[in-house]
Amino acid sequence: MNVIGHFIGGKHVEGTSGRYADIFNPATGEIQAKVSLASQSELEAAVANAAAAQPAWAATNPQRRARVMMRFVELLHRDMDKLAEALSREHGKTLPDAKGDVIRGLEVAEFCIGAPQMLKGEFTEGAGPGIDMYSMRQPLGVVAGITPFNFPAMIPMWKFCPAIASGNSFILKPSERDPSVPMMLAELMIEAGLPAGVLNVVNGDKEAVDGILDHPEIQAVGFVGSTPIAQYVYSRATANGKRAQCFGGAKNHMIIMPDADMDQAVDALVGAGYGAAGERCMAISVAVPVGEETANALIEKLAPRVESLKIGPYTAGNDVDFGPLVTGQALARVKGLVDQGVKEGAKLVVDGRNFSMQGYENGFFMGGCLFDNVTKDMSIYKEEIFGPVLSVVRAKNYDEALDLPMSHEYGNGTAIFTRDGDTARDFASRINIGMVGINVPIPVPLAYHTFGGWKRSGFGDLNQHGPDGFRFYTRTKTVTSRWPSGVKEGAEFSIPTMR
């Protein structure tokens, strides 16, 4: 059996803790590999390597650091098929979707080629008599990223690309469910010219995470995962004096106004609700049609589309809409929530619970489910399901529709489908959610903008990638300088002001 260890000091090292987690092939249900779960001493080794490598890396000029990112982008293109295959084999998503996962990370690497521009400071000549003032952005030192299973290529790159381009060294703790691609990314960074020790991958579970949160050498922690863990990581990291940005779960609503193009809205809902089996933090999980007529038309068009979704293993090629869930445990949890929804009185229009994939009966597959008449008090509305389940909540009018995402605890993404500019503008302005789509169901910002949710979808103040990625992984130093030939005024006992 293939056993995945860690990547420390530029090479693969075996785990020594004696603890392992199973890695499944979600399509077959088989255990295909094991991953070592790091102990504190293994984390120490990674941090020691990272700390030793960081000063020289920070002293490497930013253009040279950017060239490593350039070469990394080339290597990602070269190995795209290999990366996508490894990703699908452990995660279960389709190959085109796995390539998308790699490419959305690659785009952040492309953005980080602009590090010299992003890191340029500010300068004021003559801020006072003979005084110049300038600020510079400096790396923090050793920083870390803790990432979820659902984007094992993209999210690690969201974290380590800006951090490393800024001159930090990095400890990545990827999800223990699909660690192969993060390990491959670390190898590629070395091949791209990154000095050993600047990027380390420590595989593990809570023990490795707690080790990161408590380690005095680690200056900042970027986290993405479920909300309870995001909040825990944020609290413990900040209590230990670290910078933290922690992104959590979601319940993304899409409002469909009576004037929306219904075919477009249905296409959007099918893709955004069921793509990647709903295992996306930006998936649409609640559709809110406004008015009875809109709701009836929506259900009428949506139900046959959900019934005819094509489900299969990634090996079936491009003609598959989505694959299995990541683990048997995830499958049982999602089915349990659907059972609960039925019990609580929602109308299950399409029931995918009994779907079985011929030839893959032990795989973690489930069919698409569509609920109508869902209400705010039901657990399928309150909780993030993270499966191929879409809930329709009917709203009488725009204000009632707007109130739903506004009063939900999560605030990651949302969308409105309408032809009316006033309504769209009002929605974008008033909604208390971090990422908004107007006739776009999954408004994931591009690499040069920033990604982040509000309310209980995000803890901390700066977003991921874009300019915020550089801000998070650097700190500002401001220098006020005067040379001896400047004006000499003698001792000054009052605070200097610009009189």
Chain residues binding ligand NAD by CB under 6 A are 146-151, 173, 175-176, 205-206, 209, 224-226, 229, 247-250, 281, 384, 386, 412, 453, 457
Answer left, alpha or beta for residue 465, where phi above 0 means left and psi between -120 and 50 means alpha: left
- Minimum separation from the CB atom of position 89 to ligand NAD (A): 17
- In this structure, what is the dihedral angle of CA atoms 43, 44, 48, 54, given to the nearest 10 degrees? 40
Closest CA to 175 of 247, 91, 76, 246: 91
- Minimum separation from the CB atom of position 199 to ligand NAD (A): 17
- Cα separation, 422 vs 437, in Å, equals 15
List, in sequence order, every residue forming a beta bridge with 245; answer none if it has no partner: 222
- Minimum separation from the CB atom of position 331 to ligand NAD (A): 13
Q: Which of these is catalytic: 112, 161, 246, 281?
A: 281
- Cβ proximity to ligand NAD: between 75 and 431 the closer is 431
- Cβ proximity to ligand NAD: between 62 and 411 the closer is 411
Is 281 catalytic? The answer is: yes
Give the burial class of 465: count Cβ atoms within 10 A of its Cβ; 0-12 exposed, 13-18 middle, 19 or more buried: buried
- Minimum separation from the CB atom of position 468 to ligand NAD (A): 13
List, in sequence order, every residue forming a beta bridge with 145; answer none if it has no partner: 172, 222
Which residue's structure tokens are 């609580």? 344
Closest CA to 280 of 466, 444, 157: 444
- Cβ proximity to ligand NAD: between 88 and 412 the closer is 412
* Cβ contacts of 380 within 8 Å, gap of 6 or more: 337, 338, 340, 341, 344, 346, 371, 374, 389, 391
> Contact at 8 Å (CB) between 76 and 259?
no
- Minimum separation from the CB atom of position 499 to ligand NAD (A): 49
- Cα separation, 150 vs 283, in Å, equals 12
- Cβ proximity to ligand NAD: between 148 and 441 the closer is 148
Phi, psi (5° rounding) for residue 444? -80, 115
- Minimum separation from the CB atom of position 10 to ligand NAD (A): 22
Q: Which residue is nearest to ligand NAD (CB)?
A: 225
Question: Between 262-274 and 292-307, two packed helices, what is the crossing angle to 10 degrees?
Answer: 50
> Contact at 8 Å (CB) between 325 and 364?
yes
- The helix (H) or strand (E) run that includes residue 370 is strand 369-372
- Cβ proximity to ligand NAD: between 156 and 258 the closer is 156
Alpha helices in 451-498 (DSSP H): 466-472
Q: Do β-strands 169-173 and 142-146 pair in parallel, antiparallel, or remain unpaired?
A: parallel
The counts of H helices and E strands in the chain are 16, 23
- Cα separation, 283 vs 390, in Å, equals 10
- Minimum separation from the CB atom of position 225 to ligand NAD (A): 3
- In this structure, what is the dihedral angle of CA atoms 345, 275, 225, 164, given to the nearest 10 degrees? -170
- Cβ proximity to ligand NAD: between 253 and 394 the closer is 253
- Cβ proximity to ligand NAD: between 262 and 281 the closer is 281
Closest CA to 385 of 266, 495, 249: 249
- Cβ proximity to ligand NAD: between 222 and 368 the closer is 222
Give the burial class of 418: count Cβ atoms within 10 A of its Cβ; 0-12 exposed, 13-18 middle, 19 or more buried: buried
- Minimum separation from the CB atom of position 433 to ligand NAD (A): 12
Q: Which residues are catalytic?
A: 281
